[in-house]
Amino acid sequence: MPQSDSAIVLCTLNAKYIHASLGLRYLLANMGDLAPQTAVREFTIRRQAHEIVNELLALSPHIIGFGVYIWNVTETTLVVRLLKQARPDLKIVLGGPEVSHEWAEQAIFQLADHLITGWGDVSFPKLCQALLHGPPPLMKVIAGEQPALDQIALPYEHYTDADLAHRLLYVEASRGCPFKCEFCLSSLDKTAKAFPLDVFLAALDRLYQRGARNFKFVDRTFNLKIDTSVRILQFFLDRLTDDLFVHFEVIPDHLPDRLKVLIAQFPPGVLQLEVGVQTFNVEVQQRISRHQDNDKTLANLDWLVEHSQAHLHTDLIFGLPGESLDSIARGFDRLVAVRPHEIQLGLLKRLRGTPIARHTAAHGMVYDAQPPYTVRETAVLDADTVQRLTRMARYWDLVANSGRFKATLPSLLQGESAFMGFLAWSDWLWRSTAKTQGLTPEDLVDALFDYLTTQGGLPVNDARAMLLSDYVASGARASPKCLRDGLPRPPAPLQREPARLLAQRQDRHV
């Protein structure tokens, strides 16, 4: 059936265009006889709802399946409401982590015809067969079947040439996680299961031969089984190119020598490792069922910084039950000391279905009622402090994680505590601008100059020299007030290229 007239449409709203939905492609790969009648449509959450609705209705579908996530549930609810108003007979099927738990009170569930909780690879095609050909399903909520992974068709042939050229390609060698960290939906899994490795690597090779160079593994624990990790790393080492980029999420305290030998062979810019540290507080770790050897974690991070060219994207979570500001500061300082390339500072979110909810009463946890359900206060962090941490996380992204202020950043982290030093800058910037959005690199340069010279006691010439070095290295082309007399005037192409490369690097590190 032509794409202009599809009985079944698979749809989701991505956070950004660069994100290509792995879930939709899994469903398409497993549609069987219904595949010729099935179309995939992806949008971004910035698209107007009526535009999305018009494009979907133009396909004349009988069924639309929506992938619903914490980042798109609000926008998807509006789209579903408009679809039902225009076509009451249209069958709306929901799936995804946001609607797999605590679904009864959700507005989007009330609007939909059916919901598949958990895995949909097998259950969604079966439901579509029943909706199109009978007998009609009796239940609105269907628990997704979990077949053996060798019974699931892989989705990678459904990445288009445009996907390969312009988007991150999400892949997975395994599903599930054996760990029980209570803030994570993967804590509900009983274990991790691996796809047949030879079949998986053959599929990756076909993608590579088609020109794929950006691979983001969504495995929760890439380095859980070392034999598998070694084969996958060797696969990419055998196919090194200048534009290859591979992302893995790794367990921070498990890095045996067999992995180190391979990791050390990757050149700069190819390998990114996401390391979820989350907290160094042992009592908090125990409270949320997180098992982590902090000494091994720090030793492994130190080795990666000193002996590899991997880009290290590390994570800390603020607002965990019972963790005070002093504890957060100590953990931040320990992580900064090993100099990872990025530290993602995230506020705790109470994802639907996660066991973290069991601490709500005992630890005074108050969460936003709307997605993404971010913590607003705890028994040891009042609402004002949480707001300070929220702003600090935003400013850390702009100043530290952006890579634009490498020479200047150490001046903000001086003193007994790097955390308290940056928090002081964050508080000052908020008082000065009342903005966390819309701050240009030039705004930040001038603000840093004012702060370092008036609050930090840095000599004017020293501050200007550091900021000038950073600004020129970033490739920015405007003219901050504090640097107007010192900026070089190279030809435009020489300025534009570093900025383009910096933007591309940051786009990949998501």
Residue linked to tokens 């040891």: 380
Give the integer Cα–Cα distance in Å for 51 and 215.
31
pLDDT tens for 224-269 read: 899 999 999 999 999 999 999 999 999 999 999 999 999 999 999 9
Determine phi and psi for 504, rounding to 5 degrees.
Answer: -65, -40
Residue 116: partners with Cβ closer than 8 Å, 6 or more residues away = 93, 94, 95, 123, 124, 127, 142, 143, 144
- Per DSSP, the residues of 232-278 read HHHHHHTT--TT-EEEEEE-TT---HHHHHHHTTSPTTTEEEEEEEE
Give the integer Cα–Cα distance in Å for 360 and 143.
28
* 76 close to 54: Cβ distance less than 8 angstroms: no
- When pLDDT is cut at 50, 70 and 90, the band that residue 317 belongs to is very high
Give the integer Cα–Cα distance in Å for 133 and 34.
11
Give the integer Cα–Cα distance in Å for 280 and 293.
9
Q: Is 375 exposed, middle or buried (0-12, 13-18, 19+ CB in 10 A)?
A: buried
Minimum mean pLDDT among 73-77, 220-224, 435-439: which range? Answer: 220-224
pLDDT tens for 299-312 read: 999 999 999 999 99
- Per DSSP, the residues of 312-365 read EEEEEEE--TT--HHHHHHHHHHHHHT--SEEEEEE-B--TT-GGGGGTTTTT-
Q: Is the torsion defined by CA of 299, 304, 305, 311 positive or negative?
A: negative
pLDDT attached to residue 178:
86
* 121 close to 95: Cβ distance less than 8 angstroms: no
Give the integer Cα–Cα distance in Å for 124 and 113.
13
pLDDT tens for 476-510 read: 878 899 998 777 765 444 444 444 444 454 455 55
Give the integer Cα–Cα distance in Å for 488 and 339.
30
Radius of gyration of the chain (CA): 24
* pTM of the model as a whole: 0.91
372 preceded by a cis bond (ω within 30 of 0): yes
Number of CB atoms found within 10 A of residue 117's CB: 19
* 45 close to 72: Cβ distance less than 8 angstroms: yes
Residue linked to tokens 């034999």: 227
- When pLDDT is cut at 50, 70 and 90, the band that residue 191 belongs to is confident
Closest of 268, 257, 191 to residue 229, by C-alpha: 257
What percent of the chain shows pLDDT beyond 90?
87
User: What is the average pLDDT value for the chain, to the nearest integer?
Assistant: 93
pLDDT tens for 32-72 read: 999 999 999 999 999 999 999 999 999 999 999 999 999 99
Give the integer Cα–Cα distance in Å for 33 and 125.
9
pLDDT tens for 371-417 read: 999 999 999 999 999 999 999 999 999 999 999 999 999 999 998 99
State the DSSP code for 146. -
Give the integer Cα–Cα distance in Å for 338 and 294.
13
pLDDT attached to residue 508:
54
Distance of CA 401 to the CA centre of its chain: 14
pLDDT tens for 320-332 read: 999 999 999 999 9
pLDDT attached to residue 415:
86
pLDDT attached to residue 335:
98
Give all domains of the chain, ordered by start, each with its CATH number.
8-149 (3.40.50.280), 159-381 (3.80.30.20), 402-510 (no CATH)
- When pLDDT is cut at 50, 70 and 90, the band that residue 6 belongs to is confident
What percent of the chain shows pLDDT beyond 70?
95
3-class SS of residue 405: coil
- Residue 423, pLDDT > 80, answer yes
